Structures are given as C-alpha cells and as structure tokens.
C-alpha cells in the first residue's frame, strides 16, 4: 500500500502537491459556502472569489517586483502557495478595507522572502509573517476558517497525503497529539468536559490544516528528525497554551514565527551557493556532478540537499530538486543522478551547465546517517541510483579508518537493471567491502569479495541468502519505493531491528 501511494504521489513535486491540495480545498470551501453550510467571514462565495483573486494578483506582482530588484527568478509555485495559505488564514471579505488588508498581508508575506533572509537564508514562514503583521496592525485577524466539521474530512485526507509525500508524518502526528492535549486541557479549565474539550479541539480549530501546510514548510524547518519533532511539539504548545504579553498573544502564526527562529539557529544559518565544476558519466543512464561550495556547507554523509536551478521552459517537475549527497564533507559536493531518455527540464539544464556557473541550494537535511558506533556491523542495500548516499557513507568509513578508528564491517547488496547501469563500481571496489550484486546477467569481471546473486529481483529470501547475518546488522535501504517496502518487511520478519530507509520518490 505504501509503495503504491509513493508511486502515485511521486508523480508530483512537493510544491505541486501542496498547491493542488490547496486548490481542492478552495473548491470544496466554495461549494460548501454556496450550499450555505460553511460561512467564512460571512462574505459568501463572491467574497471568497474576490479575496482569492486579490491575494493571487498581489502575491505574484510582489514576487516579480522583488525578484527583479534582487535579480533572481521568481518561484511562481511557491508564491501561489503563499497566496493560498493566506486565503485560508484570513477571513474572506468583500469590503474595501477587508480586501485591502488581504492585499497588504500578501505583499508583506512575499516581501519577507527577500527582506527577512539572513545571509541569503530564509528565517520565517512567509504566510505566517503576512498574517501576523496584518493582525498586529489590527486590519484583520487570522480566522483559519478550514477548521470546521464540514471541511475537516477533506483537510485531514489532504494533510495525510502531504505529510506522507514529504515524509513528515511523525512530525504532523506530534503536532496533532500535543495540540489536542494542550487544547483539551485549556477547554477543561474553561469548564468543558474532557470529551467535549477534545472534540472541540479536533473539529473546530486549525490543527489539521496547520500540521500539514504550515509547520512542514521546508525552507524554515530544522534539518534533523529529532529537531523537527521538538519543533512541532513546541509549535503546538505555543499555539494552544493561552497567554497574552503586551501586543503578543497565542496564535498559530505567532507560534510558528517563534519556532522558525529556533529552527534557523539549529540549522544552516547561511544561504548555500555552489560553483559547478565538472560532470562525469557513471553509466549509460547515470551521471555524477561536482560542485564547489563558495562557503563551507555543514552536512553528514547520507544527507540530502535541495538544489535550485532556474531555467527556461521549466516543466511540471519545477526547478528545485532534492539530491542525496554522494560524498563525505570535503572540497567538493557530488551528486549522482539517473538520466532517463525523457529527462526532465531540470536534468537537461543540469547537463547544460558550464564550469564556473553558480547555483544556489535551499537546505540540507535528512537522517540517513551511519551510527556513531563504528563497531556496529552494517548492511547497505541499494536499488539503481539509490547507491548514491552509500558512496558518502563509504568515504566516511574510509576516513574514520585512516584516522585510526576500527574499520567498519560493511556488507553491500546492489541491484541494477543492467550490468551497464552499475554505477560507482570503482568506489565500491576501492572500499574493500563485501558486495552482493543482483543483475540480469553476471558481469564478465567480478572484483575480489563480490558475489553475483542472480538475474532476479532482490527479495527477502535472496538477500538473506547473500547476507545470512542480515538480521543482526543495522540496515540501510535506498531505492525505489516498492523495493524498499518489500525488503523492509522481509527484514523485519527475519528479526532486523534497526532499519533506515531512503526512498527515491518521483525520481
């Protein structure tokens, strides 16, 4: 089921899935308002259409203006998402002051992407900035009108899809659980029964909408999973814990701004600029690209980086793409990619880069990291270009051994669709680890320590036959969703307890 859902949602970028989800909620809200069962702001369907139009136009124009001033390419999808989020935060309105407030909120939100960036790094969620600023002036206040029983089923389903696609389900779950607990306690203190307080918190607040569409904004989140869980829990406490300090009081947008600042302090506190150096072909269908950071980039082997590459005639995949880093920290950052016959416009633009071209990246993150205990035996299982994060792992292991640490016990299982597609074979051979290869035909030359599993797809049985002690090893799975899901299930049945996954969705 999870592999099927991964394959389905992998057709859309994260940005596009969020945008489509907001569009669906817009249509649902419009229908319910027309039927008279939802009355956001008492403005009716015409007020909803007018508010949406004002926000979209103002946000797009502001984005184009500031992009021209800063000589950058405007990110249209991101701008439309900001407009959509503000549409669901602010109450729809048909009055001139109400529409003017929405316009001002949109302009402030988009401008904050450029003006509230420290050393090229975003600090605050733009929609939260716009909503907070407009509330601070008294022109309008956040209504978060999707928080009602009629909208609830649609919000919950779309929230689940977005959180599943972005691998943020644990983060969303922490926010919901903590939020429900704190809100229920508050309502009980106000005189409601515990059950009534829980029901009201779950059906009459922005809880679910906020969990999926606000706290998971990728540019303002902390990089590590444990940090993200703390971030979500603190955001929920600040939202639902009643307080009033001067002009500041508990609200979803204020809570998010506070945790955004903390996340900035915990993560990469500088924009990432890279200079393209060179590329090399790894196989007929894969390439490796070298970039030199203009300033040091803090990361650990196995993490990913989101690369921005604005280009003409951008297709539906957009001009931001997440890549696993195929190197350990050093002078260069390397990325390995698969290049199908019908490559995306992003990958074609990547191939067309000239040495010396400078590009930007938005963030580094991920928890696909080797254990700090070098004596723990490891099993690395890769499908196709899923081998890329393991190259950084092996470089890290080699550096540790060179520094005097005990050599890691590493077994690798590598599945490819053709022997010609065997990428990074030289690096694997140089690492000196055991490699079990699954490919349609046996390679004419097998390095020492390599074995051929056979021509069939890697299954739980064939993996356990190739690595009999797999269950006692810490396992890392990287590749297509179906392969990762099947092997994870088989390894769990065999007794493996420490399993990490890195799914290549929509690659």
Where do the structural domains in the chain lie, given as residue ranges? 2-266, 272-365, 378-503
- Residues 113, 217: Cα–Cα separation, whole Å: 13
What pTM did the predictor assign?
0.88
Handedness of CA 80, 503, 506, 3 (dihedral sign): negative
Query: In 73-151, where does DSSP find H-type helix?
Result: 76-89, 96-115, 126-137
What is the predicted pLDDT for the residue at 1? 64
What would the mean pLDDT of 138-164 be, rounded to a whole number?
86
Nearest in space to 218 (alpha carbons), one of 331, 405, 81: 81
What is the predicted pLDDT for the residue at 75? 86
| Candidate ranges 38-52, 151-165, 491-505; pick with highest mean pLDDT | 151-165
pLDDT, tens digit, for every residue of 286-336? 999 999 999 989 899 999 999 999 888 888 778 888 899 999 999 999 999
Strands 333-338 and 358-365: unpaired
The CATH class that applies to domain 2-266 reads mainly alpha
Whether 498 has a pLDDT exceeding 90, the answer reads yes
β-strand partners of 436: 413, 451
Q: Determine the topology of domain 272-365 in CATH.
A: Elongation Factor Tu (Ef-tu); domain 3 (2.40.30)
**pLDDT bucket at 244, cuts 50 / 70 / 90:** low
What is the predicted pLDDT for the residue at 341? 76
Instruction: Encode 463-492: b = buried (16+ Cβ within 10 Å), e = exposed.
Output: bbebbeebbebbbbbbbbbbbbbbbbebbe
CB 141 within 8 A of CB 250: no
- Residues 268, 150: Cα–Cα separation, whole Å: 40
- Residues 50, 30: Cα–Cα separation, whole Å: 12
Q: Determine the topology of domain 378-503 in CATH.
A: Rossmann fold (3.40.50)
| Candidate ranges 74-78, 89-93, 475-479; pick with highest mean pLDDT | 475-479
pLDDT, tens digit, for every residue of 22-81? 999 999 999 999 998 888 876 789 999 999 999 999 999 999 999 999 888 888 999 999
pLDDT, tens digit, for every residue of 389-445? 999 999 999 999 888 888 899 999 999 999 988 999 989 998 889 999 999 999 988
Mean pLDDT taken over the chain? 90
**pLDDT bucket at 507, cuts 50 / 70 / 90:** very low
**pLDDT bucket at 269, cuts 50 / 70 / 90:** low
What would the mean pLDDT of 376-382 be, rounded to a whole number?
96
């Amino acid at each position: 089921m999870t592999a099927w859902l991964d394959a389905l949602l992998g057709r859309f970028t994260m940005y596009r899935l969020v945008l489509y989800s907001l569009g669906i909620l817009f249509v649902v809200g419009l229908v319910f308002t027309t039927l008279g069962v939802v009355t956001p702001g008492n403005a009716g369907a015409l007020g909803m259409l007018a508010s949406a139009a004002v926000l979209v136009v103002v946000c797009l124009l502001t984005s184009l203006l500031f992009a021209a001033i800063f000589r950058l390419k405007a990110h249209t999808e991101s701008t439309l998402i900001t407009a959509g989020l503000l549409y669901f935060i602010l109450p729809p309105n048909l009055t001139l002051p109400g529409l003017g407030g929405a316009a001002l909120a949109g302009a402030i939100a988009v401008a904050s992407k450029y003006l509230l960036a420290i050393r090229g790094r975003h600090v605050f969620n733009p929609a939260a900035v716009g909503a907070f600023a407009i509330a601070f002036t008294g022109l309008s206040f956040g209504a978060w009108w999707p928080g009602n029983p009629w909208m609830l089923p649609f919000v919950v389903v779309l929230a689940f899809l977005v959180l599943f696609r972005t691998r943020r389900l644990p983060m969303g779950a922490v926010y919901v659980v903590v939020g429900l607990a704190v809100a229920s306690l508050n309502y009980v203190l106000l005189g409601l029964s515990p059950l009534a307080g829980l029901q009201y918190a779950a059906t009459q607040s922005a809880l679910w909408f906020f969990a999926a569409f606000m706290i998971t904004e990728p540019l303002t989140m902390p990089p590590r999973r444990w940090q993200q869980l703390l971030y979500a829990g603190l955001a929920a406490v600040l939202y639902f814990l009643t307080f009033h300090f001067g002009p500041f009081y508990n609200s979803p947008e204020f809570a998010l701004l506070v945790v955004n600042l903390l996340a900035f302090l915990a993560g990469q506190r500088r924009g990432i600029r890279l200079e393209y150096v060179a590329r090399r072909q790894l196989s007929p269908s894969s390439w490796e690209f070298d970039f030199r950071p203009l300033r040091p980039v803090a990361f650990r082997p196995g993490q990913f980086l989101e690369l921005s590459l604005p280009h003409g005639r951008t297709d539906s995949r957009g001009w931001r793409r997440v890549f696993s880093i195929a190197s350990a920290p050093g002078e260069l950052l390397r990325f390995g990619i698969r290049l199908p016959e019908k490559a995306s416009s992003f990958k074609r633009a990547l191939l067309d880069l000239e040495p010396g071209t400078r590009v930007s990246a938005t963030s580094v993150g991920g928890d696909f990291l080797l254990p700090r205990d070098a004596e723990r035996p490891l099993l690395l299982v890769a499908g196709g270009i899923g081998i890329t994060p393991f190259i950084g792992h092996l470089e890290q292991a080699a550096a540790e051994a060179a520094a005097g640490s005990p050599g890691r016990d590493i077994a690798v299982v590598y599945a490819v669709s053709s022997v010609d597609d065997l990428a990074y074979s030289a690096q694997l051979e140089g690492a000196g680890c055991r490699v079990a290869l699954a490919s349609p035909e046996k390679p004419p030359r097998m390095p020492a320590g390599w074995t051929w599993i056979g021509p069939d797809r890697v299954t739980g049985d064939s993996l356990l036959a190739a690595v009999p002690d797999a269950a006692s090893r810490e396992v890392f799975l990287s590749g297509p969703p179906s392969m990762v899901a099947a092997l994870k299930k088989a390894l769990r049945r065999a007794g493996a307890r420490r399993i990490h996954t890195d799914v290549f969705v929509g690659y």
